[in-house]
Amino acid sequence: MQRATIMRLINIKPSRPLAVFLTLVPFVLVFVAYAIGSEIRLAENPQDKLLPAPEKVWDTAMRLISEGDRRTGRILFWHDTWASLKRLGIGISISAFVGLLFGLLIGLLPVARRLLAQFVAVLSMIPPLALLPILFIVFGLGELSKVVLIVIGTLPFLIRDLSQRVLEVPEELLVKAQTLGASSWVIAIRVALPQVMPRLIQSVRLSLGPAWLFLIAAEAIASDLGLGYRIFLVRRYLAMDVILTYVIWITILAFLIDWALRWISRHFFPWAEEGL
């Protein structure tokens, strides 16, 4: 008699509907767990502020994104978002550009490698948040110190990662380019740069997590606008509904940025598809 064979776990692949279901399960579970916890606490004390009901968070969210501030009439939610995204964008852009430049220098030129590689390795060991007071003292409490914190926090990683990627460009390609008469400059812009561009996007995606961390830390300490500032401001009133709205919004933003970067990478560097 034919025995029903039991497949190994590593060979069981979910079908499409099951895959969608499985993806949704943890989200639903977390939501349900929160709803139940909130229900229990509110049943005991309707004034409880710690776990506001999901409907209340929803109402708060709607109020935040549509109603203006009573004093100025500005919708603070969008101003906060814009202020934070601007800081994040400027910081990450500077990091990416400088990281690319130094990554190419260190990766391509043995002299620059000797000069900078160890220095960057040591720099990257400095905890950026420990430098925050210095930044506030040197650059003041304005935008500059927040952007600089993001740059300091993400740049050493980007430089190290990108120079490593440049070093991984096969020696054969560099020799080949030389036999076609390419100068160091042409090798940098026509061989190394295009080959590390997909990696740059990949590295930026990885640095976005730390970048948000440094942004919110800087905003929490000294700011008058921004997502992190708002969260730490309303903390004083135990306004969990506002905090939760902002946290969910930051998560959505981070996810969207990540998704956009992945799309850019796929769209503009189709030849690197298998490496991503």
In angstroms, the CA 119 to CA 126 distance is: 12
Interface map 17-46 toward other proteins (x if CB under 8 A) = ------------------------------
52: tokens are 């506001």
Per-residue contact flags (x/-) with other proteins for residues 104 to 123, judged by CB under 8 A? --------------------
Cα–Cα distance measured from residue 243 to residue 234, given in angstroms and rounded to the nearest whole number: 7
Choice between 75 and 112, CB closer to other proteins: 112
Contact pattern from residue 122 through residue 151 relative to other proteins, giving x for each residue in contact according to CB under 8 A and a dash for the rest: ------------------------------
For other proteins, the closer CB: 95 or 195: 195
- Interface with other proteins: number of residues (CB under 8 A): 25
Q: Which is nearer to other proteins, 172 or 224 (CB)?
A: 172
Q: Are 146 and 215 in contact (CB under 8 A)?
A: yes
| Residues counted in the chain | 276
Q: Helices 76-108 and 110-123 meet at what angle, rounded to 10?
A: 140
Q: Which token pair is 124?
A: 């990257």
- 177 vs 221, beta carbon nearer other proteins: 177
Q: Which of 253, 256, 259 is nearest to 216 (CA)?
A: 253
Q: Which is closer to other proteins, CB of 44 or CB of 171?
A: 171
Least separation in angstroms between residue 180's CB and other proteins is: 4
Distance in angstroms (rounded) separating the CA atoms of residues 157 and 151: 10
Q: Which long-range contacts (CB under 8 A, 24 or more apart) does 195-198 make?
A: 195/165, 195/166, 195/169, 196/100, 196/103, 196/104, 196/107, 196/162, 196/165, 196/166, 196/169, 197/268, 197/269, 198/265, 198/269, 198/272, 198/275, 198/276
In the complex with other proteins, the residue whose CB is nearer, 183 or 251, is: 183
Pattern 217-256, other proteins, x by CB under 8 A? ----------------------------------------
Contact 220, 229 (CB under 8 A): yes
Query: With respect to other proteins, which residue has the nearer C-beta, 160 or 199?
Result: 199
Considering the complex, what minimum distance in angstroms separates the CB of residue 139 from other proteins? 38
Q: How far is the CB of 170 from other proteins (least distance, A)?
A: 4
In the list 21, 31, 237, 271, the residue contacting other proteins (rule: CB under 8 A) is: 271
Given the complex with other proteins, which of 72 and 179 has the nearer CB atom? Answer: 179
Q: Please state, as a whole number, how many other Cβ atoms lie within 10 Å of the Cβ of residue 161.
A: 20
Question: Identity (one letter) of the amino acid at 229?
Answer: Y
**Residues numbered 166-195 forming contacts with other proteins, rule: CB under 8 A:** 170, 172-173, 175-183, 185-186, 189-191, 194-195
Closest CA to 150 of 201, 215, 100, 98: 215
Question: Which residues contact other proteins by CB under 8 A?
Answer: 170, 172-173, 175-183, 185-186, 189-191, 194-195, 269-274
